Amino acid sequence: MIEDRHIGLAYGNGGRLTRTLIEELFALHLANDELDVGLDAAPMHLPEGMVPMITTDGFTVQPLEFPGGDIGSLAVNGTVNDLAVSGATPLYMTLNAFIEEGFEVETLERLVQSVAAAARLAGVKIVAGDTKVLPRGQGGGLYLATTGVGMRPADLQLGLGRIAVGDRILVSGPVGDHGIAVMLAREAFDLKGPVQSDCAPVNHLTAALSEVAGLKFMRDPTRGGLATVAHEIAMATSTTVRLKETDVPVQDPVKSVCDMLGYDPYYLACEGRVVAIVAPGAADSAFAALKRTPGGEGAAIIGTIEQGRAQVLLETEIGGSRVLDELEDDPLPRIC
Amino acid sequence: MIEDRHIGLAYGNGGRLTRTLIEELFALHLANDELDVGLDAAPMHLPEGMVPMITTDGFTVQPLEFPGGDIGSLAVNGTVNDLAVSGATPLYMTLNAFIEEGFEVETLERLVQSVAAAARLAGVKIVAGDTKVLPRGQGGGLYLATTGVGMRPADLQLGLGRIAVGDRILVSGPVGDHGIAVMLAREAFDLKGPVQSDCAPVNHLTAALSEVAGLKFMRDPTRGGLATVAHEIAMATSTTVRLKETDVPVQDPVKSVCDMLGYDPYYLACEGRVVAIVAPGAADSAFAALKRTPGGEGAAIIGTIEQGRAQVLLETEIGGSRVLDELEDDPLPRIC
């Protein structure tokens, strides 16, 4: 039992309290048949004939809990989703926690339980971890970092290099929910409630897309949102990425908040969406694959890869078009 | 070129400045033939017939630079060493950076160069990374997290469960250097200079030990030092771990500082040492293997696993013995 109500510096010293924190809070909730906190390094059982993939991500979201998620579920889904969009099935994960001195044990426990629930949902096992305690005033409460290992079929070829003029662009659901949900949770606005973060694992969506012949590229539009993914594609392929405003799904409450506060939903982070590029003839089957998969009900075909200068064009509702430039200032810091 | 002299919040937004930071600072220095910053997840080439191992560690050392190392070399060696003592050859690594708003670009560049140099020395490739920028006053300058993947021979069986009464304990060099070097760098004492951190990769030492028949267990005595490793062994095996004070190597300047300030060198962190447990008949060959490997010149046989209650006994110079209890308070916070 952890006797203190708040984490003190001594919980990071490697001695008795560190052991208590790891055994009776982290390992207790993250337990799985391959987690052994007594090891310096954990063995992984990786299926043969597939390509092992690795990715890592840091999380500093503020507030730590928001409608639809928290830093714990975000830390699992962020890394699961980076593996998923690279075509890999996520299998193993590691977890780093940087805890600020004075952090409430009860809150920490709730967030670690959220990590555990998200890991179970995504089907990954957390097999290694580390905790550090930061002196009061140098930590922002809690920061997490996760690293994930997954396996990709050897014959699944995805990449920016496969994209060609004529390809279609899809998104698995409405954009901007996560950004707005976190922003509303942070501010004192009387707008709380209507918007929930889309924070979720996308590995079932990417698995469904991977069955579609003609799938070329997938990415999760996190920091910088849909516009940033579109911009990366335009730059890497020297094409014009044309998006149609009327086709890009944005939920009404997100639209309202954006209109009111001057945000552009296309630059806001999603944490449970996939952007996919497919060959022209594969758009309908990719759309159908998303639609029939849980989490993909709001999918849409939103644009086309066109010949032209490297840029992102948004065809507006009234028939004009505006350029979506690369993101400069940060509209919403610490969203992930 | 990064035009700013200090990292602003917008370097963490996923847009142009994030791309600049990643491409022109991190990727520039960490470049290797398998690093591609355009990927969501990186493929790993893992040799078949061996066991893939994973480990992770966070780093919050203060000050960021100290005699003999810095947070960059520490972050690489800490994770390399956890793989090494588990019997694995380190191959791949991921890097998370949490950078405080206002951090000097020049210092960041120097530290990332140190990461790169340490990775080259240890023979690991950094293939994935992530950067986050923390609001001023919530970051402590720079925190790093590293995750490493290595391969262990399938027939190398190491573990606390293999330790038996009569086994001998070795250490690869003097203890406490890292802890004292960081402490002196932090304080305004006029004692700077004589003590350098032992921060170094131990994978050559563990490879040499792995050739010794009778090797049972290895661990790097980091947070909590030699006493904490000895304590873990005593608890896990229900034996008395007896260490001989006159045999445990401690450098004279470390001894002096400890005497002066009331620290116990056995609880101070090392970042380039290995503790090894071997069968009784293997002590001499393990000692010889360490002695002939660079970094192991100061090796010593320091104790024995004995029947008795689970405790760590230090046989003192004057013939008595004192119990080394499990670490309670933190003698030196933020040492790693």
The predicted model gives A57-61 an average pLDDT of 96
Question: Is residue A333 in a domain?
Answer: no
Backbone angles phi, psi at B310, to 5 degrees: -70, 100
Chain B nearest-CA distance from A193, in A, is: 25
pLDDT at residue B130 tops 60: yes
Q: Tell me, what CATH number does A232's domain have?
A: 3.90.650.10
Q: Inter-chain contact A18–B223, Cβ cutoff 8 Å?
A: yes
Residue of A51, A96, A312, A325 to mutate when probing chain B, most B C-beta within 10 A: A96
Chain B nearest-CA distance from A224, in A, is: 5
- Other C-beta atoms within 10 Å of A72: how many? 28
Q: Does B271 touch chain A (CB under 8 A)?
A: no
pLDDT at residue A189 tops 70: no
pLDDT of amino acid B188: 64
pLDDT of amino acid A126: 97
Report the residue from A18, A41, A328 with minimal CB separation from B10: A328
Q: Tell me, what CATH number does B27's domain have?
A: 3.30.1330.10
User: Which residue does chain A place closest to B13, by CA atoms?
Assistant: A330
The predicted model gives B205-234 an average pLDDT of 95
pLDDT of amino acid A172: 98
Give the model's confidence band at A336: pLDDT under 50 very low, under 70 low, under 90 confident, else very high.
Answer: confident
For residues A191 and A184, is the Cβ–Cβ distance under 8 A? yes
pLDDT of amino acid A1: 74
Which residue is it, tokens 């405790």?
B311
pLDDT at residue A18 tops 60: yes
Distance CA A154, CA A173 (A): 28
Distance CA B198, CA B16 (A): 39
pLDDT at residue A76 tops 80: yes
The predicted model gives B237-248 an average pLDDT of 97
pLDDT of amino acid A2: 87
Question: Is residue B329 in a domain?
Answer: no
Paired sense of beta strands A311-315 and B215-219, if any? unpaired
Spatial CB neighbours of A260, under 8 Å, sequence gap ≥ 6: none
The predicted model gives A86-91 an average pLDDT of 97
pLDDT of amino acid B37: 86
Q: Does A56 touch chain B (CB under 8 A)?
A: yes
Tens of pLDDT, residue by residue over A21-32, are 999 999 999 999
Question: Is residue A214 in a domain?
Answer: yes
Question: Is residue A108 in a domain?
Answer: yes
pLDDT of amino acid B323: 95
Q: Does B228 touch chain A (CB under 8 A)?
A: yes
Q: Does A292 touch chain B (CB under 8 A)?
A: no
Residue of A147, A162, A233, A273 to mutate when probing chain B, most B C-beta within 10 A: A147
pLDDT at residue A188 tops 90: no
pLDDT at residue B236 tops 70: yes
Which residue, of B119, B153, B187, is where some domain finishes? B153
Give the model's confidence band at B155: pLDDT under 50 very low, under 70 low, under 90 confident, else very high.
Answer: very high
The predicted model gives B145-162 an average pLDDT of 95
The number of folded domains in chain A is: 2
pLDDT at residue A319 tops 90: no
pLDDT at residue B329 tops 80: no
Residues A209 and A103 in one domain: no
Which residue, of B153, B173, B198, is where some domain finishes? B153
In B, which residues are within 8 Å of A46 by CB distance? 46, 52
Q: Inter-chain contact B128–A223, Cβ cutoff 8 Å?
A: no
The predicted model gives B257-277 an average pLDDT of 94
pLDDT of amino acid B190: 64
Residue A292 burial (C-beta neighbours within 10 Å; 0-12, 13-18, 19+): exposed
Residues B144 and B28 in one domain: yes
Residues A15 and A142 in one domain: yes
Residues B318 and B201 in one domain: yes
Least confident range from A40-54, A186-200, B89-103, B133-147: namely A186-200
Question: Is residue A328 in a domain?
Answer: no
Tens of pLDDT, residue by residue over A161-183, are 999 999 999 999 999 999 999 99
User: Which residue does chain B place closest to A152, by CA atoms?
Assistant: B43
Give the model's confidence band at A304: pLDDT under 50 very low, under 70 low, under 90 confident, else very high.
Answer: very high
Residues B14 and B109 in one domain: yes
Tens of pLDDT, residue by residue over B199-214, are 999 999 999 999 999 9
Give the model's confidence band at B331: pLDDT under 50 very low, under 70 low, under 90 confident, else very high.
Answer: low
Residues B145 and B276 in one domain: no
Residues B25-59 as b/e (b if ≥16 CB within 10 A, e otherwise) read bbbebbeeeebeeebbbbbbebeeebbbbbbbbbb
pLDDT of amino acid B189: 65
CA-based nearest residue to B203, from B122, B318, B286: B122
Residues B123 and B179 in one domain: no
Residues B240-273 as b/e (b if ≥16 CB within 10 A, e otherwise) read bbbbbbeebbbbebbeebbeeeebbbbbbbbbbb
In A, which residues are within 8 Å of B271 by CB distance? none
Question: Is residue B333 in a domain?
Answer: no
Helix (H) or strand (E) holding B78: helix B71-85
pLDDT of amino acid A191: 60
Average pLDDT over chain A reads: 94
Which residue, of B108, B134, B153, is where some domain finishes? B153
Question: Is residue B311 in a domain?
Answer: yes
Tens of pLDDT, residue by residue over A226-244, are 999 999 999 999 999 999 9
For residues B55 and A40, is the Cβ–Cβ distance under 8 A? yes
C-alpha pair distances (Å), A323 with each of A14, A260, A300, B127 = 53, 21, 21, 33
- Both tokens of A273, joined, read 């969406």
Residues B23 and B142 in one domain: yes
Q: Inter-chain contact A40–B82, Cβ cutoff 8 Å?
A: yes
The predicted model gives B237-254 an average pLDDT of 97
Residue A310 burial (C-beta neighbours within 10 Å; 0-12, 13-18, 19+): middle
Paired sense of beta strands B89-100 and B125-134, if any? parallel
Question: Is residue B283 in a domain?
Answer: yes
Within 19-38 of A, beta carbons closer than 8 Å to B belong to: 19, 38
Spatial CB neighbours of B163, under 8 Å, sequence gap ≥ 6: B216, B217, B233, B236, B237, B239, B277, B305
Q: Inter-chain contact A224–B39, Cβ cutoff 8 Å?
A: no
Distance CA B83, CA B11 (A): 32
- How much of chain A, in percent, has pLDDT values that exceed 70? 97
pLDDT of amino acid B89: 96
For residues A148 and A22, is the Cβ–Cβ distance under 8 A? no
Residues B231 and B273 in one domain: yes
pLDDT of amino acid A335: 73
DSSP A13-69: SSSHHHHHHIIIIIHHHH--TT--TT-SSEE----TTEEEEEEEEEE--SSSEETTE
Give the model's confidence band at A287: pLDDT under 50 very low, under 70 low, under 90 confident, else very high.
Answer: very high
Residues A86 and A195 in one domain: no
For residues B244 and B287, is the Cβ–Cβ distance under 8 A? no
Helix (H) or strand (E) holding B322: strand B321-323
ipTM reported for the complex surpasses 0.85: yes
The predicted model gives A288-299 an average pLDDT of 97
The predicted model gives B86-114 an average pLDDT of 97
Residues A138 and A184 in one domain: no
Give me the domain span that covers residue B225.
Answer: 160-323
Residues B147 and B232 in one domain: no
> What's the first-to-final CA gap in chain B, in angstroms?
31
Chain A nearest-CA distance from B94, in A, is: 7
Give the model's confidence band at A223: pLDDT under 50 very low, under 70 low, under 90 confident, else very high.
Answer: confident
